[in-house]
Amino acid sequence: MVALVELVGELKALRKGRGLLASHIGERIGTGLRAVCDVRDEDGPAVIRQKVARRLENLAGDLPADLRMAVLAAFAIAPDARQPFYQDRVSWTADRLNRDPRTARRRIDAGIDHLAQLATDRAVAPSRTAAESSSVNGWRTAELRVVVALDRDRPEVVEVHRIVAERDGLAAVEVTAAFGVTVLYGAKRVRGGTADLPTTLRSGAEHELAIQYRLPDAAAAHVVRTPDRPCDLFDLRLRFDRARPPWRIWQLRGALDRDVADPEPAGEPRHTDGAGEVHLVFRDLVPGLAYGARWEPH
């Protein structure tokens, strides 16, 4: 099994100098990278570069666009970012992100951390597909609809979950772990973030349940969901106070959890409509990445 810390260190060492274009590339590829990229002792420099580049590009395909661009530039994989020095590639990334070099370095570090996590997870079970992974856990989310009413003293949330059983005998599913959850329909009770279903489900059966709860008074200025299993659709509606709408709102699509609190927010700007509402729709969510919105209060 490849150690996560070891792989992060090897990736950070690989980005130095000319990255994947460095001379004696075989000496730059550590044991962790050799394992996840299937690099063998008999492979020559050209084959090593092809294997590592192909593997990193494949893993980067699951990252948000900004992190994907940052890491492919860092390793000199991106055709337009094959400068001889790492600092030059950081500057290239900063220009493309319209950020300063310090922020570009943070994006690169975040991308490398996530690449390593993806690589080690898939090294444990390389042949398991997303559907198979959800089957092991017993169910997947076909649809999650969330309505957040922020235009009141105690913000309220309503969540509607439509799930699909992936095995026979499914009796409970995980929902949002929040204080004071009320079941609206579709569950006997919710305890500690686990909803007990009215009846056990057979494989392939669909079921819908809805819950309601209040956010704390000092709720953070964001609403995101980070699924731990495949999710086909996430529909999010936010209703702000029309008299005091946020200064700015950003949509987060496939972000890392750390991006939710990043002092320099990245994401697609969004605006409230005439009712003070924002409606966001996300499809084919990647487990482990964050989806939703953050805002700067008035």
Q: Residue 133: what pLDDT?
A: 41
**Rounded Cα distance, 288 and 255, in Å:** 9
Total of domains in the chain:
2
Of 87, 106, 127, which marks where a domain is finished? 127
**Rounded Cα distance, 139 and 168, in Å:** 10
Q: Is the pLDDT at 77 greater than 80, yes or no?
A: yes
**Strand segments (E) across 127-221:** 139-149, 156-165, 170-174, 182-185, 189-191, 194-201, 206-214
Q: How far apart are the first and last CA of the chain?
A: 49
Six-digit token string for 144: 């999650």
**Rounded Cα distance, 141 and 173, in Å:** 10
DSSP classification of residue 80? G
Instruction: Report residue 127's pLDDT band, with 50, 70 and 90 as the boundaries.
Output: very low
> Quick count: other Cβ atoms within 10 Å of Cβ 229?
21
| pLDDT tens digits for range 23-61 | 889 999 999 999 999 899 888 888 899 899 889 988 888
| pLDDT tens digits for range 174-189 | 998 788 899 999 999 9
Together in a domain, 283 and 137: yes
Contact (CB, 8 A) for 178 and 204: no
**What CATH number should be reported for the domain holding residue 251?**
2.60.40
Of 127, 145, 172, which marks where a domain is finished? 127
Together in a domain, 162 and 274: yes
User: What pTM was computed for the model?
Assistant: 0.59
Six-digit token string for 286: 């990647």
Section 155-182 average pLDDT: 92
Q: Largest Cα–Cα distance in the chain?
A: 68
Residue 177: half-sphere exposure toward Cβ, Cα within 13 Å: 6
- Look up the domain containing 36 and give its range: 4-127
Together in a domain, 291 and 147: yes
Six-digit token string for 186: 């579709």
Instruction: Report residue 216's pLDDT band, with 50, 70 and 90 as the boundaries.
Output: low
Of 63, 95, 127, which marks where a domain is finished? 127
